[in-house]
Homo-oligomer: A and B are copies of this chain.
Amino acid sequence: MAHSATRPARRADARQNAEKIVRAAVTCLGRSADASMNDIAREAGVGRVTLYGHFPSREALVEAALIRLLAQGDEVLEAVDLTGDPRDGLRALMESGWLLIAQAASVLQAAQASLPPGRVHELHAKPEQRVHDLIRRGQTEGVFRADVPAELLASVLHHVLHGAATDVATGRLDAADAARFVAEMALAVCVVPPARTGN
């Protein structure tokens, strides 16, 4: 009886520890993409055994931190009004997306460095779906190009957005111009291209 009574308490403890660890991972990786498992254990106030009990590898923990940030970002994107002209919606979505990426830059860098290629992109399924649905509506309404599948246009926007983060990090792009720039590029990618004129 005593045994079964302590189980829910133990489960609650474990959940609390997992939560503390993920939060500490977001904090530490946000400060430095190279943050170690020890740094994160210290920040979370748990021992190595507890840490590795929840996350058997640094890769697993980096992924959990990224998933957490993506979930928080999704709440922000959820609030963006996408009901008007798809071009305005796309601009607003890219600008918000940029702010989220800029905040998450260091965690994203850790993820790019330690997760398998394509995995970071895979984890973006939900925000990508949002962009995808908007592009599809723009295609139906005739303002976005329909000669390229919406998934592929969404994928190009993903690369443009994440590429801009690298460009800011390497000094090619001024951080203050970045939101407007990625929105401008996203529109260029998506709108129906002009008919070719000239020779």
Contacts and interface: CB of A to CB of B under 8 A. Distances in A.
Interface of A: 85, 87, 109, 112-113, 117-118, 121-122, 143, 145, 147-148, 151-152, 155-156, 158-160, 162-164, 166-167, 169-170, 172-173, 181, 184-185, 187-189, 191-194, 196, 198-199
A166 B121 contact: yes
Contact of A167 (B87, B155, B172, B187): B155
A148 B180 CA distance: 11
Contacts of A155: 163, 167, 172-173
Q: Top 10 closest A-B pairs, CB basis?
A: A159-B163, A118-B170, A194-B194, A159-B159, A188-B189, A155-B167, A188-B188, A155-B172, A188-B193, A156-B185
Contacts of A191: 193-194
Contacts of A188: 145, 188-189, 193
A172 to B, nearest CB: 6
A185 B186 CA distance: 11
B87 A196 contact: yes
The dominant DSSP class at the A interface is: helix
Contacts of A117: 109, 112-113, 166, 169-170
A151 B181 CA distance: 13
A77 to B, nearest CB: 21
Nearest to A33: B117
Nearest to A108: B117
A168 to B, nearest CB: 10
Which of A113, A159, A172 has the most chain B CB within a 10 Å cutoff?
Answer: A159
A169 to B, nearest CB: 6
B181 A152 contact: yes
A85 B148 contact: no
Contacts of A181: 148, 152
